[in-house]
Structure formats: C-alpha cells, structure tokens
Homo-oligomer: A and B are copies of this chain.
C-alpha cells in the first residue's frame, strides 16, 4: 500500500514538474470558458449558497450583477441574488481560479494559460489593481468602471500582443521572480516587471495608437500585484493534470470562499473536503484592525499548492515584513517547515537564499497529519463588510480538519475502511 501511494505521488510530482504553462490569450469569460452561462456567477472556494456567504463575497456578487446588467443597482442586485435567480458555482468547477472573492462572470476578460505538456487550459480574471476592487468586495461605480476598461481596453490589447508574441511561457518568469524576491502570492514586484518587460514590445507592435498603449502600460506598471492572477492561472494549469491519480495523497487544490476552506486530493478526484476558514494573522493598513477583517478567502492558495506563496517565503524576505511574519531568518524557516509536508522539491523553481534548493512542492496529506504542520498561506485580508476593500495582509493556516476528512475519504477509496 505504502509503495503504491509513493509511486502515485511520484507520478503526481512528475506531472507538476513537467508542466509548461504558457499565457496564450485573454478573452471574455463567456467565450473562453465552456458552460459559463448568463446569470451565473463563479466565486472562490468550495461550493456555497447565498445564505452562508460572507459580506465581501455578497458585495462582489451584487457588483457583478450590476456590471452584467442583471440589476440596476446594488440593492436590486442583492435581492436578485437572494431570490435564487443567479446560479453560483466555484471557479474550480470551470477550470478557473479567482483571487479573494474570485468573481467571474461572462463579460469579464479572463487570461488563458495553456499547459502545453498536457493540453489543458486554465483561466483567471485580470488583476484590478490595489485599493477598492471587486476581489476585496468593492462594488461602487469606480470599481465597475474599471472592470469595463479591463474588458474594453486592457483585455483586447493583451490578447493582440499575445497573438503577436505567440504566447508567453511563464515557468521561466516565475523562476526568475523567485531569484528576485517574489513568492508570487503577496509579492509579485519582480514577476510583474519581468512580465511587462517581455510583453511590452508585442504590446507596441499590436497597438493601434500610442496613447491607448500608454494607458495599458501604465495600468500594469502601477500595480505590483498584476502578476498574481497570472501566477494563479499558472497554478491551476499545473495542478489540473494531477487530478484523479489513483492512490495519490497529493493536494491538487486549496481554496476558500470566506466561510469554508476546501481542499481536493488527487486520489479522491474532485471531492471537496471542507472546514471553517481561519482568521489571518497579519498587519493592517492604517485605520483598520483585526475587528474589520473578514476570514480567509480566495482561490489564490493555488500558488501554495504548487510550492509558491507561503511555501517559497525564503525567496521573499521583504514579504515577511509585509505579512507580519518577521525577519529574513523567519522567512527561511517557513520554507524549511513546508519541506516537512511536501513530496518533493521543484528542480526549476529554486530559492537563492537556501543555496538554490528547490521550492517545497506537492502537499502530502499524510505528512500534514503525521507532523501536525498545516500549510502556510500568505494572504490579503478583506474588510468583512461589502464595498470596503482590502484592509491588510497576513499569514493563515489551512485548517487541519480538511486534511483529516480527506484522509478518511482517501482510506475509504483505497478500501482500507
């Protein structure tokens, strides 16, 4: 049995390391993603009904309903959502991921990342920038106007540039980012800069007029976290081919909807194992405290699932301060600890401060339970009320109960119980 599991986990790791994620397109979600219908909202985390949703998730859904023209204002939109006239599904059920509230609807542009080794595609919306944004529960005119600009200007410009460039391979950008202080969750300064550097010539070649090109370059240049959503689509593209390997105890998704934390495990297919989300420990922006904070939220934990984010904290001493995790030595410790619950080290994604050891990759639910060490996640923190936005950043743990449930189901699937 043990040997069978080790072999299955080895296969899972090999698939993760063999992935060749390439950003190939940006298209309206309704065109790119099969089955994404009108009056359908995709959200972060495992499945959840309106009644159990947290404030920012409800706020973002109301904003999205106005954005799509399903309601005239936020109040009418909330009534509509509560009435059952809008269908809710996890992004993960549509090969997609979304940060924080993770809202995806038909008219929003999504980035398309193709895993060229396995042929699968993954999707994620464009990063909206910082401050009051839909992913943190924002939903006013400023938020919706920006979403329109993303759909009308930025999305098409990137699509044309990617066509000119023939797609943009992402694995090397992440590798360089790790040697430049990014962990790809709360710090994407390097990867955003490298991305802009690589795409800007193609953006210029594809551009109609220099002025709208300047706006596009400016939007990306002004947002250190622009690459986060790309990293998330990359994470999803890498983990999807790992789903459903019989006998594998490797985690293929970790995800939160602000109420429940859910994980999926390769050997148990597409079942979710959930538990209540925890509160992040972190640092708050001026004027906010932990009393304002919403519990943990977002599909962005897909980056930890592939060995980045909190797992690669050793690469990013600067992020340790930002999320309140301490010094450079503390940052390295987080990574050292994650080696204890992972199946391997990524040969292509290495950490300079650990003398180029590979990032800890492939969370093994057996090791989580044996060691009692929960995966470390670097996260943004949203205000608990709809419409406010981001109030801080911190560290949060994946709840142990998810892993207990997953192992029980895994044992049952293996015929042990």
Contact = CB atoms under 8 A, between A and B. Distances in A.
Interface of A: 176, 179-181, 189-190, 192-194, 196-198, 200-202, 204-205, 207, 209-211, 213-215, 217-218, 220-221, 317-318, 327-329, 352-356
A318 B213 CA distance: 34
Interface of chain A, helix or strand or loop or mixed? helix
Chain B CB count within 10 A is highest, among A192, A215, A352, A354, for A352
A198 to B, nearest CB: 6
B193 A197 contact: yes
Contacts of A189: 176, 180
Contact of A210 (B181, B210, B354): B210
A174 to B, nearest CB: 14
A175 to B, nearest CB: 11
A317 B181 CA distance: 11
B204 A221 contact: no
A196 B198 CA distance: 10
A296 to B, nearest CB: 27
A216 to B, nearest CB: 8
Given A193-B190, A328-B352, A355-B327, A204 B181 contact: no
A217 B193 contact: no
Chain B CB count within 10 A is highest, among A179, A204, A211, A355, for A204
A214 B221 contact: no
A317 B352 contact: yes
A220 B194 CA distance: 12
A353 B355 contact: no
B200 A221 contact: yes
